[in-house]
Amino acid sequence: AQSVTQLGSHVSVSEGALVLLRCNYSSSVPPYLFWYVQYPNQGLQLLLKYTSAATLVKGINGFEAEFKKSETSFHLTKPSAHMSDAAEYFCAVRSYSSASKIIFGSGTRLSIRP
């Protein structure tokens, strides 16, 4: 069965610093992977998705993620953090048994220090 593990429930960085949120996946087949962002009191919004094309995926708001099969990882990065990036971030994987079902990780809360 597919699953994702997010390392670190809370990450804090200074404004302007590199953001790195970690996600490792488990899948018996080539995975489709996602990163979602959830701002306070809002629903989830898709940041980016990996569909087995380019291994480096660019998303909205300056975020990108790199698929590394050898490390079973799909870490999310942003070169320079902005105060508006403070939110909860979820890594997710598409279910093998159902193309329309996705399985979420437990989330990482990103805080930005002024």
Q: By the criterion CB under 8 A, which residues form the site for another protein?
A: 9, 32, 41-46, 49, 51, 90, 92, 94, 98-102, 104-107
d(CA 2, CA 45): 21
Find the shortest distance in angstroms from Cβ 11 to another protein.
Answer: 15
Q: Which residue lies nearer to another protein by CB, 13 or 89?
A: 89
The token pair that represents 63 in the structure block? 């975020």
Shorter beta-carbon distance to another protein: residue 68 or 101: 101
112, 85 contact by CB (below 8 A): yes
Helix (H, G, I), strand (E, B) or coil at 104: strand
